[in-house]
Structure 1
Amino acid sequence: MIRKLLPFLFIITHLSFAQDASVFKPDSIKKTIEAKAITSSLKVDGIMNDAEWKLARPVSDFIQIEPFQGKQPSNKTEVRVLYNKHYLYFGIFARDSLGKKAIRATDFKRDFNIRQHDLVALSFDGFNDKRNAMALVTNPYGVQRDLLSFDDIYYDLDWDGLWRVRTTRTDSGWVAEMAVPWQTLRYPKTAQQTQDWGFNFYRIRRLTNEHTAFSPYPRSFRYTRMDYAGTLTNLQPPPPSTNIRVQPYVLTSFDRYRNFSNRPDDNNLKVGGEIKWAINPNAILDLTANTDFAQADADRQVNNVTRFSVFFPERRQFFLENASLFGVGIGPSDDLAGGTMRVQPFFSRRIGLDDSGNPIPIDVGGRFVYRSLKRNYGAIAMRQREVGDTPGTNYFVGRYSENFGKQNRLGGLMTVKNRPDGSNITGTIDGFFRLGESHSLNTMAVYSTSTNGGKQGFSGLAQYYYTTNQLKVWWTQSVVSKDFNPELGFVSRSDVIGTTPGIFFYNRGKWIPFKKFVRAFEPGIMTEFYHQASTGKLIERQLNLNPIWFNFQRGGYFGYLVNPTYQRLTEPFQPLGVYIGPGEYNYVRHQIYASTDPSKVISLNTEFNWGTYFDGRLNGHDIRMQLAPIPHVSVVARYNRNHFRNVGEQKTTTNVDLYSVEGRFALNPRVQLIGFYQKNSENRSQNYNIRLSWEYQPLSYIYIVFNHRGFDNLQLKQMQTEDHVIAKLSYLKQF
């Protein structure tokens, strides 16, 4: 089957080169926006009535990215830039002919979902290397989102910068005022008095799903692709100086356990904190002691019926910062392109968490990161405390990468997990190559060894992408040996050779029906072939055919997929308690995905699947509804069901249901009450988490958290429950 696909994908890729004109090259003459120096300080209140704003020339010549690349925006955006010796100020007026009636925002969550909000975004390239970007984003209610981007492929989405924004909404649009401390920004120390930075500005008007930018770029890319950025000129930032951020905390907690042996109720008083030292514009040192993650968002349960391990994202702030430097790996992209195989030599959730996601105390740790135009390197060292049967463990991660050419990189990664009974070590060599505006290649080779068992393993991967405004073509090739075991990493499956080519078509021709409602027709083919590495035999084949996929003008979508699948089980498989024995299976699954406009007061997101499944049938649905009458109140209800019929050796027929409700209630972006509840019929588990958060000054918090977890222990034949009440105060001071 692979041989049959090769000519097809070759022809498609060959034809796609003729369409490269849609991916235009960066303009050699950069658009500019000039910053004006002031000596006074501005009152950041979202009104822009300070006289100093009249000194700055507004820039408003924006260009559409979506839906009509290169056209003029339907509503103008004006941007002004000022600065003094402490702050870089931005004044933004997002004009709108409908005024406040057009504004869309569904919640006050920091790092909000950009598909649900009006927003404006700034991206900075202070070193002018056209590779690294710092992005600051806000919505019409002053909710913050910020991130770091590297080569527009690696992202630190949960990086939190120290900056201030206030907004107002009027009958002619909305206004945002931002004050960004120079200490938050990254730029070189030079002898030149004036600096010019790479800069872009991006806006989404959610009502019409229109995207515009100050400096245009192909719509298949992002606003953090800094080789397409414009220039922010006439900056005179102060020389980078000592920049130390201290964030101590004090915490008190009460833990109660029921039907757990050797786990009595407990009270704790805990003190700890973190220090961040920006040694210079390129180097940052983070130190942590008695590390605590009580405020981190809790994991949601997932009912998994695939043979792949579920990948739960990191949610703890200390590990989220600069994660992209250490985040070497290959996996599916946001739109599922690239295939489902995922290999990461380093996965930070292996530190301070057990296999069930329960916390294990971290005594002390540190992270050093250096980034520059030519090279990047860093290290992480952590000490995990001994708890019960888990011995004290030392962790080390080292990373080095060298940049060369326009956007190419070669690097290495080493991880060490050391326990009294031995060490697990991995070594990685990786490379990323930007072969043109549309072509990229990501490669990786990993070796693992364990001193206590003597087993050694290998994993090698290569992932090619070709992306234009009309096509996305990929080919991911992977091999994971039987004994590959990165104990500080994540691998979705072992003893496998994976081949996952695919293609998406992006069609916007006049022939598309219902153009008033349909923006694009985007069918695709996603194929996956897996052979057992130790025997060479085919063990899985999926032909994911996606003949129907419509993206609607207002942000919704509708798609249909059919998945002819072959599975050769070499060992038993037990999804959600249903036992399926070894053997060969052929079956066909069908899936429908649909979503309404996610920015509306009421939005619906659904998935229906049905068809044969191994030796029986499986029908399922996942329905998610959000109610957000005002941004201060957002409630999400979700219902997931898997109905097995005559599946497995015992011809099991059963329903497995997962219910969940999440709520977010906010006085403003800084005072919020967040909670969720989940009930799973598989083991009668009931979990809920309630968290009150008050950001009483930037990045300083008071938290009150209540967490409950209960489930049936089948071995003990009784319900086990645990309850945790936590109060935490943190304070951030920047010097």
Structure 2
Amino acid sequence: MIKKLPNLLFFITSFSFAQDAEIFKPDSIKKKIEAIQISTTLRIDGVMNDPEWKLAKPTSDFTQIEPYQGKQPSHRTEVRVLYNKNYLYVGIFARDSLGKKAIRATDFKRDFSFRQHDLVALSFDGFNDKRNAMALVTNPYGVQRDFLSFDDIYYDIDWDGLWRVRTSRTDSGWVAEMAVPWKTLRYPKTDSLTQNWGFNVFRNRRLTNEQTAFSPFPRSFTNTRMDYAGVLSNLQPPPPSTNLRIQPYFLTSLDRYKNFDNKPNENTYKVGGEIKWAINPNAILDVTANTDFAQADADRQVNNVTRFSVFFPERRQFFLENASLFGVGVGPNEDLSGGNMRVQPFFSRRIGLDDNGNPIPIDVGARFVYRSLKRNYGAIAMRQREVGDSPGTNFFVGRYSENFGKQSRIGGLVTVKNRPDGSNMTGTIDGFFRLSESHSLNTMAVYSTSTNGGKQGFSGFAQYYYSTNQFKFWWTQSIVTKDFNPEMGFVSRSDVIGTTPGVFFFNRGKWIPFKKFIRAFEPGIMTEFYHQASTGKLIERQLNINPIWLNFQRGGFFGYLINPTFQRLTEAFIPLGVTIGTGDYNYVRHQIYASTNPAAALSLNTSFEWGTYFDGRLNSHDIRLQIAPIPHISILARYNRNHFKEVGVENATTKVDLYSIEGRFALNPRVQLIGFYQKNAENLSQNYNIRLSWEYQPLSYIYVVYNHREFDNLLQKPKQMEDHVIAKISYLKQF
């Protein structure tokens, strides 16, 4: 049966091809919003009472995306666009019959979660290439979210643009008033007097999860799929000119250590900064000196009981910008499709951080990025300082990709890590092919070599997706050889051949009961087969059968999975201190995932796992409780437990707990106090981070940070502790 399962999945998917009646093609006649030129400067206060707004005719012809694609919205959204020589102004009135009572927002975090907020989003395609977009998003309290999108596949989520928004909330809905400097936007220099850009406006009414858009698109896509965008017409932007941003900083810190060898207490001062030069609308150069990331969010610990390495996301701002150009690779999607295997030839956390996430100073670095309709290329060069046993290290990554067709590309990437004792290099060839609106193929081949030891290795993958409004099918084939070693990259597992097909079904038929509460029934099957690359033998098999998955109208969900699993251990496996010996193991795990409405003042997200585990049993649960009585106050508590029962060579019965609590307290989107505490029984560690942040003018900040870490070192008794108090001020000036 197991051998026949991939064929069964392929048959089910092939049979369903003809069922896709709702993935419509982009309309050849584009909807338009006309921008009106003014000579005055507007006051941005979220009220829209300047008389100039009356010059622009409101556009309100929106279409539902969710839950009823193509239907009329339940609530009107009105959009007006004005501009002068310095700014593009957008005014939006999100009407609502319930007024303020309908508004949902859980925090004031910049780049907030789409699932927890009312919002309106603007998508700009200044080059009309129908591939790339700049998205500016706000919620009813003027909190900003902005990102860059490329082919609606790769996203620079943490890109921060320089723009301003103010909002107001009334008994008729809420108003957003935005002012975007022309220097923030990207557009070509042309001889034409006027320009027309690709443009879309998207709204999410979070109370009912109703999503609407000015220019409609299939619900399985997003508002940055710009071949479906409308047109923003009659623009007369100034010709692109010198665009230089300078952001120096000054920092002082008190560093205290207890029970460390050769690590004295210090009081330090630090000066550095960054320069961003938009050389032209296509090319940007970033230079950083004495780089500092004191304000970066702290990593969240994870207790891992799988055979895959944990992937910690990048949190440092310099490396987050334009990350999508260099971030080629394969990995699981947010909805768990695609398989668990992750391979990235370049992973920016290899620069300026050790294996435990501790910072290593960066002396100087630069990044150059060029993007156009035909091609994209860029490079990063960094110098990491010599500290203790870690020698001075040079890092380089170069990237080139050529676009062709509507949304396809081929490219290459090179990484070089150079230390006094040798160099490590990788070379990558990759491609993405949009075969149709629903079909796509992503491929990559990587070669690695090291001068110190001379080992060479190979990794590659091919990943096919077929996505419609009715189902999503994927097949990922990957390989990582035993000696593949990308020292500037990330690999979740070595010496493995992965085969991971799967399918999700999206059902919204009238037969679904309790339609007032249940929006969709989405069962699925996710299979994973792993063979050892050096021997060809099967070493792991998972059949993740998901017979029940319900998505609720208010954003919650409930799902049940059963996972028959086979594991062949060729060496000891030690999850959370429990040693499991070599041999073959068959066991079955059960999982329940559930969430209430994540936008509510009180929300709960839980997962429970139980069943056999190798030669014993393992019960696990993860509980997250969020309390957000008002957006100014948000508290998230988490409790994670793994309870082993008679597992491993020592027949171990033990519990490993992980606790955390974080709070965000905000006067407004610009002044916030953020705290985070975490305790882990696995290594007896306690960490907390407290950060006061004041954005005293756009993208200029004052930070006061306190970090505390304590943990048991098996080679050092008693417990080691360190404390850091940091004050930092940065100032951004745009020329």
Query: Is the contact between residue 286 and residue 367 of structure 2 (CA under 8 Å) also seen in structure 1?
Result: yes
Taking structure 1 as the reference length, what is the TM-score of the superposition?
1.00
Note the C-alpha offset of 1:19. 2.1
Aligned AA (1:217): F
Q: Distance in 2 between matches of 1:89 and 1:178?
A: 6
Q: For residue 290 of structure 1, what is the aligned residue in structure 2?
A: 290
Q: Distance in 2 between matches of 1:621 and 1:21?
A: 40
Q: For residue 241 of structure 1, what is the aligned residue in structure 2?
A: 241
Matches within 5 A, 1:560-579: 560-579=560-579
Q: For residue 710 of structure 2, what is the aligned residue in structure 1?
A: 710
Correspondence 1:137 to 2:137 = yes
Matches within 5 A, 1:260-299: 260-299=260-299
Q: For residue 217 of structure 1, what is the aligned residue in structure 2?
A: 217
Correspondence 1:647 to 2:647 = yes
Correspondence 1:369 to 2:369 = yes
SS at 1:717 equivalent: strand
Note the C-alpha offset of 1:20. 2.6
Query: Is the contact between residue 100 and residue 173 of structure 2 (CA under 8 Å) also seen in structure 1?
Result: yes
SS at 2:306 equivalent: coil
Once superposed, what is the RMSD of the aligned Cα atoms?
0.7
Q: Distance in 1 between matches of 2:391 and 2:37?
A: 57
Correspondence 1:390 to 2:351 = no
Provide, for residues 196-230 of structure 1, a one-character-per-residue CA deviation record: whole Å limited to 9, x for no partner: 01111100001101000001100001101111111
Aligned AA (1:152): D
Q: Distance in 2 between matches of 1:9 and 1:574?
A: 34
Q: Distance in 1 between matches of 2:511 and 2:623?
A: 32
Provide, for residues 489-510 of structure 1, a one-character-per-residue CA deviation record: whole Å limited to 9, x for no partner: 0000010000000000000001
Q: For residue 109 of structure 2, what is the aligned residue in structure 1?
A: 109
Aligned AA (1:93): F
Note the C-alpha offset of 1:2. 6.2
Q: Distance in 2 between matches of 1:680 and 1:249?
A: 34
Q: Distance in 1 between matches of 2:197 and 2:544?
A: 44
Note the C-alpha offset of 1:712. 1.0
Query: Is the contact between residue 103 and residue 140 of structure 2 (CA under 8 Å) also seen in structure 1?
Result: yes
Q: For residue 189 of structure 2, what is the aligned residue in structure 1?
A: 189
Note the C-alpha offset of 1:3. 4.1
Aligned AA (1:164): R
Q: For residue 252 of structure 1, what is the aligned residue in structure 2?
A: 252
Aligned AA (1:282): N
Q: Distance in 2 between matches of 1:16 and 1:448?
A: 41
Note the C-alpha offset of 1:104. 0.4
Q: Distance in 2 between matches of 1:77 and 1:6?
A: 46
Q: For residue 527 of structure 1, what is the aligned residue in structure 2?
A: 527
Note the C-alpha offset of 1:715. 2.1
Q: For residue 330 of structure 2, what is the aligned residue in structure 1?
A: 330
Q: For residue 149 of structure 1, what is the aligned residue in structure 2?
A: 149
Percent sequence identity over matched residues? 83
Matches within 5 A, 1:387-466: 387-466=387-466
Matches within 5 A, 1:5-16: 5-16=5-16
Provide, for residues 582-626 of structure 1, a one-character-per-residue CA deviation record: whole Å limited to 9, x for no partner: 111111110000000000110000000000001000001100000
Q: For residue 380 of structure 1, what is the aligned residue in structure 2?
A: 380
Q: Distance in 1 between matches of 2:638 and 2:5?
A: 38
Note the C-alpha offset of 1:297. 0.3
Matches within 5 A, 1:514-663: 514-663=514-663
Correspondence 1:695 to 2:686 = no
Aligned AA (2:435): L
Note the C-alpha offset of 1:13. 2.1
Query: Is the contact between residue 6 and residue 501 of structure 2 (CA under 8 Å) also seen in structure 1?
Result: no
Aligned AA (1:259): N
Q: For residue 57 of structure 1, what is the aligned residue in structure 2?
A: 57
Note the C-alpha offset of 1:22. 1.2
SS at 1:234 equivalent: strand
Q: For residue 97 of structure 2, what is the aligned residue in structure 1?
A: 97
Correspondence 1:487 to 2:480 = no
Name whichever of 76-85 and 677-686 sits farther off.
Answer: 677-686
Provide, for residues 144-195 of structure 1, a one-character-per-residue CA deviation record: whole Å limited to 9, x for no partner: 0000010111000000000000000000000000000000000011111111
Aligned AA (1:705): V
SS at 2:672 equivalent: strand
Aligned AA (1:198): G
Q: Distance in 2 between matches of 1:293 and 1:366?
A: 16
Q: Distance in 1 between matches of 2:433 and 2:190?
A: 30
Provide, for residues 112-140 of structure 1, a one-character-per-residue CA deviation record: whole Å limited to 9, x for no partner: 01111000000011111111010000000
SS at 2:21 equivalent: helix
SS at 1:656 equivalent: strand
Provide, for residues 412-440 of structure 1, a one-character-per-residue CA deviation record: whole Å limited to 9, x for no partner: 00000000000000000000000000000
SS at 1:61 equivalent: coil
Q: Distance in 2 between matches of 1:717 and 1:389?
A: 22
Q: For residue 309 of structure 1, what is the aligned residue in structure 2?
A: 309
Provide, for residues 329-385 of structure 1, a one-character-per-residue CA deviation record: whole Å limited to 9, x for no partner: 011111010001000000000000000000000000000000000000000000000
Aligned AA (1:515): K
Q: Distance in 1 between matches of 2:258 and 2:583?
A: 42
Q: Distance in 2 between matches of 1:569 and 1:630?
A: 50
Q: Distance in 1 between matches of 2:472 and 2:6?
A: 16
SS at 1:271 equivalent: strand
Q: Distance in 2 between matches of 1:331 and 1:134?
A: 24
Q: For residue 38 of structure 1, what is the aligned residue in structure 2?
A: 38
SS at 1:27 equivalent: coil
State how many pairs are aligned: 735
Aligned AA (2:72): Q
Q: Distance in 1 between matches of 2:579 and 2:729?
A: 48
Q: Distance in 2 between matches of 1:577 and 1:412?
A: 40
Query: Is the contact between residue 562 and residue 589 of structure 2 (CA under 8 Å) also seen in structure 1?
Result: yes
Aligned AA (1:389): D
Q: Distance in 2 between matches of 1:277 and 1:24?
A: 40
Aligned AA (1:336): L
Taking structure 2 as the reference length, what is the TM-score of the superposition?
1.00
Provide, for residues 658-684 of structure 1, a one-character-per-residue CA deviation record: whole Å limited to 9, x for no partner: 111100000000000001101111121
Instruction: Specify every segment of 5 or more residues in structure 2 that has no aligned partner in the other structure, as ranges.
Output: none
Provide, for residues 379-415 of structure 1, a one-character-per-residue CA deviation record: whole Å limited to 9, x for no partner: 0000000000000000000000000111110000000
SS at 1:406 equivalent: coil
Q: Distance in 2 between matches of 1:729 and 1:270?
A: 11
Provide, for residues 97-122 of structure 1, a one-character-per-residue CA deviation record: whole Å limited to 9, x for no partner: 00000000000000001111000000
Q: For residue 203 of structure 2, what is the aligned residue in structure 1?
A: 203
Instruction: Specify every segment of 5 or more residues in structure 1 that has no aligned partner in the other structure, as ranges.
Output: none
SS at 1:260 equivalent: coil
Note the C-alpha offset of 1:15. 1.9
Q: Distance in 2 between matches of 1:19 and 1:670?
A: 49
Q: Distance in 2 between matches of 1:264 and 1:300?
A: 27
Aligned AA (1:351): I
Aligned AA (2:14): H
Name whichever of 474-483 and 706-715 sits farther off.
Answer: 706-715
SS at 1:47 equivalent: coil
Q: Distance in 1 between matches of 2:717 and 2:19?
A: 63
Query: Is the contact between residue 592 and residue 607 of structure 2 (CA under 8 Å) also seen in structure 1?
Result: yes
Note the C-alpha offset of 1:730. 0.1
Matches within 5 A, 1:61-100: 61-100=61-100
Q: Distance in 2 between matches of 1:179 and 1:271?
A: 32
Query: Is the contact between residue 345 and residue 486 of structure 2 (CA under 8 Å) also seen in structure 1?
Result: yes
Q: For residue 231 of structure 2, what is the aligned residue in structure 1?
A: 231
Aligned AA (2:156): D
